[in-house]
Amino acid sequence: MHDLDRIAEAYIAAWNETDAGRRDVLIEQAFTADIGYRDPVMQGDGREAVATMIAGVQHQFPGFRFALNGKPDGFADMIRFSWIFGPDGTSVIEGTDFAAIEGDRLKRVTGFLDKIPT
């Protein structure tokens, strides 16, 4: 069995780390080398692309942080988890990611938006 909580938490931690060096370590822990990521506004392949996307989001939303929303669930090699994103643990944007897992890392992530500012 995959540790779904730990996998989702590793993903959130990578998105929240603003120090580039520490973030690279967290990205290595959270994603496979051939990670493919896509959501309605971004897409990229490989850990370097993920690092660039995360840095871009942090630049666009300074002070915002991600937090898990509810409990991850999954089966076989699939995981689903929802998140909130905002300053100080508030929710400005919400989304749900589903992903394929390889070992204890995310291999393909597809993100959908559940709530966007109106």
SS3 of 76-94: CCEEEEEEEEEECCCCCEE
Find the binding residues for its own copies in span 20-49 (CB under 8 A): 38-40, 43
Q: Does 5 bind its own copies (CB under 8 A)?
A: no
Find the binding residues for its own copies in span 63-102 (CB under 8 A): 73-76, 78, 80, 96, 98
The DSSP H or E segment spanning 27 is helix 20-30
Q: Does 1 bind its own copies (CB under 8 A)?
A: no
Are 47 and 11 in contact by the 8 Å Cβ rule? The answer is no
Binding region for its own copies (CB under 8 A): 38-40, 43, 73-76, 78, 80, 96, 98, 110, 112-113
